[in-house]
């Protein structure tokens, strides 16, 4: 019996240790010569790991200088007062947690080529005649690459770029044109999100914002760097 109790206690201690490690442990990441010990609770790939996806053939390995962060909506809203903690999803209000991929090294250095490629994509969309159309939340314009059929069930999905009124020449040199996807909610009203890539301090920041939070996009790189600096080791 004593041996069984010892085994049970050891097993219990191991379970507690694993649970504590999952909450307070960290993983070290290197970005452009700096090392960051990111707590597990902020690691997107740890909290949303998909083993079946990792085993698929043909998927490229993640770059060495890369970190995926999961930043809770409550913390982002605390630190960026204009950030809306909730957004309207398909049928209800949902917390707007933020996922950010920070890239350094060779991947980040390829930003100029990526910018040129996206400019060609925008030019093709403009040539097709799908826009521009005012985007009320940002004061920018939509240039559609694919427009859904509004009012037709399942056909309201659209894809578009966001550009300043003056076009590509007015877009900050450190930005790729934001790419947006829209779809109807359960009542047929439009909901959408936009994917941003911003180059700053030798790093690229890839993230997505729901429509209510588009206005904070320029503030995200500085905010993410302030969080990373908390974990610099």
More confident of the two residues 223 and 56: 223
pLDDT for 53 equals: 45
Tens digit of each residue's pLDDT (9 = 90 or more) over 152-167: 444 467 899 999 999 9
154: β partners: none
DSSP assignment of 59-107, as one string? PPPPPSSEEEEEE-HHHHHHHSTTS-SEEE-SSSEEE--EEEEEE-HHH
User: What is the pLDDT, as a whole number, of residue 9?
Assistant: 31
Q: What is the rounded distance in angstroms from the CA atom of residue 171 to the CA atom of residue 185? A: 30
**Structure confidence at residue 62 (pLDDT):** 58
pLDDT tens figures, 14-30: 333 333 344 569 999 99
pTM beyond 0.85: the answer is no
pLDDT value of position 189: 80
Give the whole-angstrom CA distance, residue 162 versus residue 176: 10
What mean pLDDT comes out for the span 169-180? 96
User: How much is the pLDDT for 39?
Assistant: 96
CA distance 204 to 197: 7
Residue 17 has what pLDDT? 32
Q: List Cβ neighbours of 32 (8 Å cut-off, separation of 6 or more).
A: 65, 104, 105, 108, 202, 203
Tokens representing residue 26 in the block: 């960290």
Report which of residues 62 and 4 the model is more confident about.
62
pLDDT of residue 208 exceeding 70, the answer is yes
Structure tokens, 22: 């999952």
């Amino acid at each position: 019996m004593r041996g069984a109790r010892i085994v049970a206690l050891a097993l219990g201690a191991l379970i507690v240790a694993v649970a504590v490690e999952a909450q307070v442990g960290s993983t070290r990441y290197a970005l452009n010569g700096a090392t960051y010990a990111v707590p597990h609770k902020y690691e997107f790939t740890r909290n949303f790991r998909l083993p079946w996806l990792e085993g698929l053939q043909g998927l490229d390995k993640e770059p060495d200088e890369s970190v995926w962060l999961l930043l809770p909506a409550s913390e982002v809203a605390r630190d960026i007062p204009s950030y809306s903690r909730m957004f309207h999803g398909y049928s209800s209000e949902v917390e707007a947690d933020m996922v950010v991929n920070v890239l350094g090294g060779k991947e980040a250095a390829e930003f100029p080529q990526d910018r040129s490629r996206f400019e060609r994509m925008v030019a093709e969309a403009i040539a097709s005649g799908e826009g521009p159309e005012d985007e009320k939340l940002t004061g920018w314009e939509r240039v559609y690459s694919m427009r859904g059929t509004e009012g037709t069930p399942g056909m309201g999905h659209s894809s578009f770029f966001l550009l300043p009124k003056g076009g590509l020449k007015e877009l900050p040199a450190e930005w790729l044109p934001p790419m947006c996807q829209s779809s109807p909610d359960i009542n047929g009203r439009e909901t959408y999100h936009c994917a941003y890539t911003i180059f700053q301090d030798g790093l690229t920041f890839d993230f997505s914002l729901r429509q209510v939070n588009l206005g904070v996009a320029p503030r995200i790189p500085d905010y993410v760097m302030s969080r990373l600096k908390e974990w610099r080791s």
